[in-house]
Chains A and B, each alone.
Chain A
Amino acid sequence: MTRRRIVLALVACVVGVGAVAAWQRIQDLSLETQATNPIVRWEWVFLREDTPAELWEATLQHLQLTLMAVGIGFVLASVLAAVALRFRWTFPPITAFTGFLYTVPSVALFGILVTYYSNTEAALIALVSYTLLILVRNIVAGIAGVPRAVVDAADGLGMSRVRRLLTVELPLAVPVIVAGLRVATVTTVGLVGITAIIQLGGLGSLIFEGFNSQYYTKMVVGSALSVGLAVALDLLFSRAEIALTPWARRRAS
């Protein structure tokens, strides 16, 4: 299953690069365009000395913002989910609130927060608030979806509430929770790109810089790396899920 995904991801990459190359070829057919400004200057990507360091730095910043946002979001979401599970009546207001946060347009949220906080703080607050809805919903759904009989059996064994949660309910909820984490992470990778409007953005800043200086190679490379980062993180989480739930694999095979 996972091997198929990796193959699919590779195929997608090859198709993507091929599409860009073909597109460039079509654009370059016009001699005028070729003389002035080709879309991808491969020499910038492969031969320029500073390129690897610049790309690495941008990717690292992108990754850092993404992981910090998802990490903080996960901690906050766990607390909210715990409250929602312990006191059932709080679940609708919590989803309503996180749902509202999710509806606020990201450009607007970055814009308004940056007038009150520093750029990094503004970006993190906004990014974290976008992860909450998905994470809270999946944590709650995962734990509430544990079969009644399993919970009863744990109670019958005399487990305390905390022990039941940690040793029975959480492990069984892992697939649903990881599914939430994956969606949140991939979404956040995309949103981090937009933080370029407040001078952050990692790979997103490459896209905006490239556009403003009409150096389109930067845009194409920034976009490709951003998609690649999203796919890589998604794969990483799916591997982690397999590692965390060995029984699922045993049952499947």
Chain B
Amino acid sequence: MTLAMLLAADDPTSLIEWLTDSATRVRSGSIPEQAWTTVWHAMAALAVVVATMVPLAVVLAHHRKAELVSTWLVNIGRAVPTVTVVGLLVIVSLRNGLGFEPWPILIALVLLALPPVFTNTYTGVRGVDPGAVDAARAMGLSTTGVMTRVELPLALPLILGGVRTAAVQLLATEPIAAFFGGTGLGLYLYLGLAEDDVYQVQAGAVLVCAVALTADLLLALLSRVLVPRGLRIGAARPGDASRSRRRPDAPPAAATAAAS
């Protein structure tokens, strides 16, 4: 590398230049690499949570077994700051020789995604019209059949809402890992703030936002595709008309959890 390149590397003159000139990122890694780290951490955590919590919540909600737990989960999740969880988990991981990454951040993200996914699934199944369940039973469906073919599809809008909230939260929180010895898109923010490098901070912020908003959009599209037309949130249902006359359409309270 020539001296001129090094000088240029230390001193980009605009955000665009920072984003396009890879020589400026010798110390903090390439953009696709860091973006991929952030995205796979979030996707892995979300996959684990969806694979375990959705079935669990459906079964528990079918038997009405965890009425308090579902509200407690959200409240506890809100009160315990993620910084705390990530920080303490990193210490535990270091002490057990597991390093800065990826275990602490993965576990923290799993814990973070639990409340919205569990509670939304639970609330969704809980809110299924009992008439539909009775009808399914009368038609001879087994308990498993009722859960997988009636309750799950009917609760799908809320479940996907929870998954979407969780995904955005995960992608918004993953960058914290960089402040506790990890990598990912947060590294640009961490190094930029530490070195007073305005463009690096701005670039990191723009990239983190872009990833989170893209995920939000993709999951919105996914729920458009997956949810049957008659079930969309806001779709008129018989019986709703009298209740909603003076009430603007507000999404169910469970659909949003803490920002991070």
Contacts and interface: CB of A to CB of B under 8 A. Distances in A.
Contact of B208 (A92, A107, A194, A198): A107
Interface stretch (A48-56, A71-79, A153-161, A227-235): A227-235
SS of B interface (majority): helix
B202 interface: yes
Interface in A3-51: 27, 33, 39
Nearest to A146: B246
Most A CB within 10 A of own CB, among B180, B198, B209, B216: B209
Interface in B131-174: 168, 171-173
Report the contact-size class of chain B (Cβ under 8 Å from the partner). Answer: 35 or more
Contacts of A227: 79-81, 84
A134 B190 CA distance: 29
Given A111-B202, A112-B202, A191-B259, A234 B212 contact: no
B38 to A, nearest CB: 10
Contact of A207 (B87, B168, B171, B212): B87
Contacts of A190: 78-82, 258, 260
A218 to B, nearest CB: 10
Interface of A: 27, 33, 39, 84, 88, 91-92, 102-109, 111-112, 114-115, 130, 133-134, 137, 140-141, 144-146, 148, 183, 186-187, 189-191, 193-194, 196-198, 204, 207-208, 210-211, 216, 219-220, 222-223, 226-227, 230-231, 234
A30 to B, nearest CB: 8
Contact of A219 (B79, B84, B173, B198): B84
Nearest to B78: A186
B78 A193 contact: no
Interface of B: 75, 78-84, 87-88, 90-91, 95, 168, 171-173, 175-176, 179-180, 186, 189-190, 192-193, 198, 201-202, 204-206, 208-209, 212-213, 216, 245-248, 250, 256, 258-260
A197 B258 contact: no
A129 B219 CA distance: 23
24 contacts: A103-B168, A103-B212, A103-B216, A104-B209, A104-B212, A104-B213, A107-B175, A107-B205, A112-B202, A112-B205, A134-B256, A141-B247, A144-B246, A186-B75, A186-B79, A187-B259, A193-B81, A194-B81, A207-B81, A207-B83, A208-B83, A210-B87, A223-B81, A227-B79
A197 B193 contact: yes
Chain A interface mostly: helix
Contact of B250 (A39, A106, A140): A140
Contact of A193 (B83, B201, B212): B83
A211 B87 contact: yes
A204 to B, nearest CB: 6
Contacts of B88: 219-220, 223
A84 B213 CA distance: 25
